[in-house]
Amino acid sequence: MEINGDIKKMIAALVEVVGERYVLFQPEDLAVYECDAETLDMARPDLVVLPGSTEEVSGVMKIASDHGVAVSPRGAGTGLSGGSTTIEGGISLGLARMNRVIAVDPNERTALVESGATNVSVSQAASAFGLYFAPDPSSQIASTIGGNIAENAGGPHCLKYGMTTGHVLGVRAVLYDGTIVDIGGQTRYSADLDLLGLIVGSEGTLAVVTEAVLKLTVAPNAVETMLAYFPTIEKCGQAVSDIVAAGVIPAAMEMIDKLTLNAVEDYLHLGLNRDAEALLIIELDGAKAGIDIQKQLVESCLSRNQVDDVSWAKNESERQDIWKARKRSFGALGRIAPHGYVLDGVIPRSKLAHAISAIGEIARRYDLLIANVYHAGDGNMHPCLLYHRDREDEVKRVVEAASEVLKLCVDLGGTLSGEHGIGVEKILEMPLVFNEKDLAVQESIKEAFDPMFKLNPSKVLPTPKVCGEAGSRPLIRHKILTDRC
């Protein structure tokens, strides 16, 4: 967007609403907002606007819609599908200033928060009452409630407690034309259509969430966490299936492969067994007596699958070390290659062992290193393709191999995304799961909320524009996967 007379007028109007400090248009400021944590797809916004209240968001949206300018909401930018990347240019609307936990109600077990509040800040505020916010993405120190709602975020403990959608009671949101709407409420029940269900997981394409009423969970009175090492990744995968089949739903069940395990050990020096082919982390929580029975069942499933070693954390510090190994695993992979492309495919849990060896075969065929971290309990896989962004041929192989992994997930009866969303990253694979009619229905929902198609445009639903034909910011993947366009 060229800064001509009209744009100058728009900038002046935006400054009126949010203040001069919070409208950014210098190249060095815009560069910070050109991608999220999915760094293959980059596109610089024309403006960054940082509102401080719902009313300011509304004011900004009115100005943007008057000028027909695209707006892409952004929380902390930790997204892994290019969801906040401004591929049509326009305004990157940063919500991170709106970061207050406004109130915690211990009687109703709810929290009222602004959408830029970090996930962890909600649990911190609730902890004084023995409560916490259950969805726990590994990015929880940084990622915002608005981003969690938009992506329907999960996390290690969502195996037992469910995804974000089960923990949001209501939202205040702003439509593209600036209208402020309240959707849902203070309780689990609502008499209208489940519009809240539509908003959660809509990836910032329907409305900008500015406040949310969240459901809080009572902290468990006992927790037991363990590490188990396996001689093969297939046996580890089978143990996961057996545990669930035995009727145990652990609070979390996470799996890390040898490549990742060694990167974590190089980074954190926790004394992990470097020779194991797979590491399984299991956490059980609830009442003490129930946990003891579950422990026995888990251990028998592990032995049946030739586990090499099992160790239960003896105290909170050992437990924290186990979670450090899991939650810092993607960071640790930075020791192997400067860039990692984290996928998010889902498969039926029983197909885990098969999927793991098929991904190994894809890695060999494309001559790539693929590290594997899984929310194994719910079949959500995070293969991480390691690469150097400045090696053109490697980038091409990464994009093609990633697309094959997603196809594999769909072929196995799974789907494209468990928790990171479609964004721009998986948009070309959408027709693997949805036919034209399905996509048209989804587009009509988008149109009902955003008739001008200007809120987070060219995300989730494939259009010719995303193939770089008319989009203002063509992306690498569209050039590589041209046969899909």
Ligand X SMILES: Cc1cc2nc3c(=O)[nH]c(=O)nc-3n(C[C@H](O)[C@H](O)[C@H](O)COP(=O)(O)OP(=O)(O)OC[C@H]3O[C@@H](n4cnc5c(N)ncnc54)[C@H](O)[C@@H]3O)c2cc1C
The footprint of ligand X on this chain (CB under 6 A) covers a number of residues equal to: 36
With binding defined as CB under 6 A, does residue 377 bind ligand X?
no
Paired with 91 in beta bridges are: 47, 71
Cα R_g (the chain), whole angstroms: 23
Looking at the Cβ atoms of 174 and 291, the one nearer to ligand X is 174
Instruction: Please state, in angstroms and rounded to a whole number, the distance separating the CA atoms of residues 405 and 196.
Output: 32
With binding defined as CB under 6 A, does residue 372 bind ligand X?
no
Site string for ligand X, 112-141 (x = CB under 6 A): ---x---------------------xxx--
Q: Which of 51, 147, 170, 414 binds ligand X (CB under 6 A)?
A: 147
Looking at the Cβ atoms of 11 and 37, the one nearer to ligand X is 37
With binding defined as CB under 6 A, does residue 471 bind ligand X?
no
* Residue range at the interface with ligand X (CB under 6 A); choices 16-24, 144-152, 246-254, 279-287: 144-152
* Residue range at the interface with ligand X (CB under 6 A); choices 45-53, 68-76, 228-236, 241-249: 68-76
Q: Which of 42, 49, 76, 362 binds ligand X (CB under 6 A)?
A: 76
Query: What residue ranges in 17-161 does DSSP mark as E strands?
Result: 23-24, 47-49, 71-74, 91-94, 101-105, 110-114, 131-132
With binding defined as CB under 6 A, does residue 78 bind ligand X?
yes
Q: At what angle do helices 352-365 and 392-411 cross, to 10 degrees?
A: 150
Residues 6+ away with beta carbon under 8 Å from 294: 248, 250, 284
With binding defined as CB under 6 A, does residue 37 bind ligand X?
yes
Closest CA to 61 of 27, 95, 88, 30: 95
Query: Least distance in Å: CB of 111 to ligand X?
Result: 16
With binding defined as CB under 6 A, does residue 154 bind ligand X?
yes
Contact 359, 389 (CB under 8 A): no
Contact 275, 257 (CB under 8 A): no
Query: Least distance in Å: CB of 8 to ligand X?
Result: 27
What 3-state DSSP class applies to 88? coil
Contact 372, 381 (CB under 8 A): yes
With binding defined as CB under 6 A, does residue 151 bind ligand X?
yes
Binding footprint of ligand X on the chain (CB under 6 A): 36-37, 72-80, 83-84, 95, 115, 137-139, 143-144, 146-148, 150-151, 153-155, 203-204, 208-209, 330, 419-420, 456
